[in-house]
Structure 1
Amino acid sequence: MTKTAWVFPGQGSQKIGMGVDLAEEPIASAKYEAAEKILGWSVPEICNSEDDKVSNSLYTQPTLYVVESILADLMRDRDRQPNLVAGHSLGEYVALYVAGVFDFETGLKLVLRRAELMSTVAGGQMMALIGFNREQLEEQIEQTADVVLANDNSDAQVVISGTPEAVEAVASNIKTKRAVKLNVSGAFHSPFMAPAAAEFQTVLDGVTFADAGVPVLSNTDPTPTTNGERLKQRLSSQMTGSVRWREIMQQFSEQNIETVVEVGPGKVLSNLIKRACSGISLGQVGTLANLPE
């Protein structure tokens, strides 16, 4: 039997219209109804808004969580099951839901509070660097205060995070093929998120994490575990810690994964995996049409 991993994308993968085609499915309509009671607004309405409300962080994180959870549920309803799960940043919450660590409503409440707290942290900057010398980059980060490696996405793509001055200083002192400022409100996945993370911890403390049904690769510790308490500890440091996606991809071969399915809109993670992992087949489930028969 093919050993399969499911991966869930995070903020940046959202797009207008995502999840709207799922609404007629009974599993989806029930989840959308449950989500509206928690959020106070309709996920399909926000996703279908032509003024791109779905790209406002307060909406982006909850809508991605809901849509990706529904897609995963529809996969499981068609007798598909993962042997391993992982999510990029926000996507880790979907991975934990799919692994049975907490229920849908609990995960959504956590994501909603996470979005609210992260949106209060302003003044930072994030920048994607593509095509660079890693040794040179690490040296510059070490020598520059107030900047960290936020997303270690692959050998050729990272995101740095910190004060605008520090981010610009690092980018100007290394050679890159491309440097792109991200349209975000704060320095996510950095120590600048510490006040928000501390407040979020009080919410997290009140939630019980069950042991996972399948191993989970966490952003801050990309080694597989099913231990609920350990997964909770890893999630505690996610807001201020680096997303170690490059190391998560390395685990696929170490765990003998043969197929990776990206469950969610777009192909951001699939494209990273395609370049980094030879011999692994890829699938993508982002719409009703993509679902297996």
Structure 2
Amino acid sequence: MKTAWVFPGQGSQVLGMGVDLLEIASAKATFDRATEILGWSIVDICQNDEVKLANTRYTQPCLYVMECILVDLLQHQGLQPDAVAGHSLGEYVALYAAGAFDFETGLQLVKRRAELMDLASEGGMTALLGFDRAQLESALADTEGVVLANDNSSAQAVISGTVAGIATVVGKIKVKRAIPLNVSGAFHSPMMATAAAEFGKLLAPITFNNTKIPVLSNVAPTATTDGVELKERLNKQITGSVRWREISLQLPELGIQQAIEVGPGKVLGGLIKRTCEGISVVQIGTRSELESVVPG
């Protein structure tokens, strides 16, 4: 059975995530290595500090480390996916799983990304549930300062940009629910250009390996193993749209029959099921879920 591993991003975090992995020696060693790199403890925050866990500066490294540990445990048992993809922050875990860079390199990138995104203070984001796509596309085309940030499924999207621009778009369309998101800025929009430029300084000298597993990227939802191309795609991600609906539609084109969501929550699995018929979904976010797939 051809399988894709998919990795959730910010918003999927939950207090207590990853703590049940501490009894595994290799997992504890990775948590300890992360503490050395970050200067603070992933475990302490995931165990005890819901406020910090919800803060972008901490959320993103916590998710990256926990999901990378699950990748390591799956691969240690000889399992490999036929393709990988991650939603926003999750793309870094997908690149790690595919072998584009090592754990430490990815964590340094995620640490800087999280710091820069946390400093964003302009604009906002609003989730839209139940809308007419043609109507939304028309409203976005006619409104300055707002873009489609996350194209998650046919019925779920997130727009990002100026507060006025978002209000204008929401006022122009019929939408079942419009939910302002609790984020510091207009992520995945041109308003993140300054953060993206700063991040690019850290990314520029890093060499991405050609990967052993095809990666579907947020800004270009087609599979590639070319390291240079994957790096260029990632470089565009902070300001670019997360094209998850198109990633989901690519899975059956690649012959994928099963998607394993590696990380907390069931968001990506739900989006894939609503977008693609015939793809089964498995969740691995805890030690017990891991052991149900990999006995012993």
The TM-score with structure 1 as length reference comes to 0.98
Deviations 1:56-115 (A, max 9, x none): 100000000000000111111222110100000000000000000000000000000000
- The amino acid across from 1:8 in the alignment is F
Partner of 1:108: 107
- CA offset at residue 140 of structure 1? 0.5
* Alpha-carbon distance between aligned partners in 2 of 1:208 and 1:123, rounded to the nearest angstrom: 32
- CA offset at residue 172 of structure 1? 1.6
Counterpart mapping for 1:217-232 below 5 A: 217-232=216-231
Aligned pair 1:238/2:269, yes or no?
Answer: no
Partner of 2:116: 117
* Alpha-carbon distance between aligned partners in 2 of 1:65 and 1:59, rounded to the nearest angstrom: 10
- CA offset at residue 259 of structure 1? 0.5
Contact 1:16 1:52 in 2 (8 A): no
Partner of 1:27: 26
Describe the SS at the equivalent of 1:145: coil
Partner of 2:274: 275
Partner of 2:69: 70
- The amino acid across from 1:172 in the alignment is G
Aligned pair 1:148/2:123, yes or no?
Answer: no
Contact 2:30 2:69 in 1 (8 A): yes
Counterpart mapping for 1:121-270 below 5 A: 121-270=120-269
- The amino acid across from 2:144 in the alignment is A
The TM-score with structure 2 as length reference comes to 0.97
Contact 2:144 2:165 in 1 (8 A): yes
Counterpart mapping for 1:74-89 below 5 A: 74-89=73-88
- Seen in structure 2, the aligned counterparts of structure 1 residues 50 and 196 have a Cα distance that, compared at 3 Å, is closer
Aligned residues: 292
- CA offset at residue 50 of structure 1? 4.2
* Alpha-carbon distance between aligned partners in 1 of 2:117 and 2:51, rounded to the nearest angstrom: 19
Describe the SS at the equivalent of 2:154: coil
Deviations 1:243-266 (A, max 9, x none): 000000010010000100000000
- Seen in structure 2, the aligned counterparts of structure 1 residues 179 and 84 have a Cα distance that, compared at 3 Å, is same
Deviations 1:183-221 (A, max 9, x none): 100000000000010111110012110001100000000
Worse-superposed segment, 75-84 or 198-207: 75-84
Identity %: 60
Partner of 2:89: 90
